[in-house]
Amino acid sequence: MSVDMSGKNVIVTGAGGGIGRATCIKLAESGANLVLVDRDKALADETKKAVDALGVSSLVVVADVTSEEDVKNYVERAVAEFGKIDGFFNNAGIEGRVQLMHELSYADWKKVIDVNLNGVFLGMRYVVPVMRRQKSGAIVCTGSIASFLGLPTTIGYNAAKHAVAGIVRTVATEEARNGIRVNGVAPGFINTRMFQDIAHVLLPEVADKHKAAETAGSSAPIGRLGQPEEVANVVRFLLSDEASLMVGAMVAVDGGVTATATTAD
């Protein structure tokens, strides 16, 4: 199925790498104009080069998603540049320290909650009013298999991603009659820098981070590590008019991890 996003204007947070960059490229391939939000300007600029080469318009906004002023600014910049916001991929996140709960400092807990939960809330808080005025829009938030499962040594990440699922379902029910669709994606073991770092901590005997990620990914029922583009395809669909009846869904993109109580040998 070909997804047409021609003339749509989409904000993507965490646009500088991993799933964010892959989604920007997929959206640009379908004709969407993009507001590329990231705290790392160099990474965002690399994404901009990739999407501009596909013939769409794009704007880089450097922002910390935990800063209310920064969030207000990227939303205002999007409206000033493109007039309306058709889509919002509320994606930015961090993994935090990989530690048992009783070893985790409160400062490290707060940092993960601030980015992965408060950052998601703030994005919704300032994008939704714009979409209400338009009486249209689609939002996708990035959850995780940690939105459904308890994953040892990642309590802050788990707590935040469980809460993201709650945000998705709540705002979806509040805004569906206002023409705004809200959904979430729940990636599993995906070949990103973040997952490589987590896998490297969990599998210290594997010296290479990518190999550690591949080893961890092979435990999924599908038997392999997922790729960012595979998540991006789902995000693009959810942001498009093709997903017109999808409201309040948390879509697992995980090779079967959450479908079964056990993983493949």
| DSSP of 169-236 | HHHHHHHGGGTEEEEEEEE-SB-SHHHHHHHHHH-TT--SHHHHHHHHHTTSTT-S-B-HHHHHHHHH
SS3 content of the chain, % helix, strand, coil (to 5): 50, 15, 35
The one-character DSSP state at 263 is -
> Is 106 marked active-site?
no
- Angstrom distance (rounded) from CA 192 to CA 169: 26
Q: Could you tell me the CA-to-CA distances from 227 to 22, 127, 160, 184, 195 in Å, in that order?
A: 9, 28, 23, 18, 11
Q: Which of 74, 106, 126, 157 is an active site residue? A: 157
- Angstrom distance (rounded) from CA 56 to CA 18: 20
Residue type, 139: I
Neighbouring-strand partners of residue 142: 185
Q: How many CB atoms lie within 10 A of CB 2?
A: 5
Which sequence positions are flagged as catalytic? 157
